[in-house]
Amino acid sequence: MTMIGFPPHPADRWSLATWQNAPANRWSFQHIREVVPTARVSRGTGAAAPLPQATGLDDEQTVWRLEGRWSTVAQVIEDTYTDGFLVLHRGQVVTERYPGGMPADRPHILMSVSKSVVGCLVGILADEGAIDVRAAVEVYVPELAVSGYAGATVQDVLDMRSGISFSETYLDPAAEVRLLEQVVGWAPRTVPELPTSMYEYLSTLSAGRPHGAEFEYRSCETDILGWICERATGTRLPDLLSAKIWSKLGCEQDMDAAVDPAGAVFADGGLSATLRDLGRFGQMLLDGGVAQGRPVVPASWIADSLAGAADTRDVFAASGNGTWLPGGGYRNQFWLPGGREVLLCLGIHGQMVWVEPARELVVVKLSSWPLPQEPAFLLDTMAAIDMIGFQLTLAAGLV
């Protein structure tokens, strides 16, 4: 077990090279403030919004797993390195558990679930007239006019359809996604000539194809969005996220935002929040962008995200991602499963928010998978969620 003892034995301590790897990540994902620099995203000063309790969930229901065997929902949760698991149905908690002993008030890293939070911020600023998603990114960040991003629209970036060349191969230390981690201070610097801040690095990226055509998932897109939000408003991202989203949800805890050496938020994966507060974020999306009776995210933004563009699902299928998400799509920093109306927020190592309006269902999962991507864990979790949704709607007499 990592970081046990006073002091911990050297072999049991995390390092900058190992904190994202098992078994260290089960500790480090819950202690980000001790691992990398973070900024505070204030919850505000109001009372926390209640999360009413409902009848407990029967987690002994069985699901068919990818490996070809039956298993209970409870076993799927246990087997997939779950740190926190929350199910809200009709705004009420039907299950809340912490299999690894994580305290309920402890923030956990969200990884790329952060992208969906930042995407919502763009939607809010677009509704306020601060950002035009049809405009080119260099309108807001002139430095990008001499980069590969020149000519890409904000919407291209929201939908991960810019033409930027950026590898998201997590197990390749030379991939741009891993070089970016060196820039922001999440990994030891093995390439000395890399820029010393994230925004400088983003300005060096080149394009490999026309903007607006193909879908390719790249974390750098969200960091561009964070930069645009700051430039469009003249306000740092931690303060924007607090004022526009986090302080309006009735959260119990502040959110943490990892920052680079220049103080820029690592927008694509650096946010940390508690399980319950992430549930409040999901419930706000389910409720059409409203929390505590006040609008937070425009309902039109949520509707656009669910619907996608006319060609969203076609370009998604052409990208090859249909093999694990058949009929799926990607819009405004949300994944869109096929065959149903769902907003899906995903992050590596098993972070998830599932928002399904038809079933009035929100599911949040925080995890510490050993590897960044574990397809069997993801698909088994989605099968378990489907069973949970079926069970709850059946009990409510809706099916």
Q: How many CB atoms lie within 10 A of CB 88?
A: 25
User: Which H or E run contains 38?
Assistant: strand 38-41
Q: Is 112 a catalytic residue?
A: yes
C-alpha 360 chain-centroid distance: 20
Q: Burial level of 27, CB count in 10 A (0-12/13-18/19+)?
A: buried
Beta-bridge partners for 164:
207
105 exposed, middle or buried (CB, 10 Å; 0-12, 13-18, 19+)?
A: exposed
Q: Which of 15, 42, 71, 112 is catalytic?
A: 112
Give the closest residue to 298 by CA, choosing from 244, 352, 236: 244
**């093995």: which residue's tokens?**
190
In the chain, % helix, strand, coil (3-state, to 5) comes to 35, 20, 45
Q: How far apart are CA 304 and CA 297, in angstroms?
A: 12
What residue has token string 């050297």?
10
Residues that are catalytic:
112
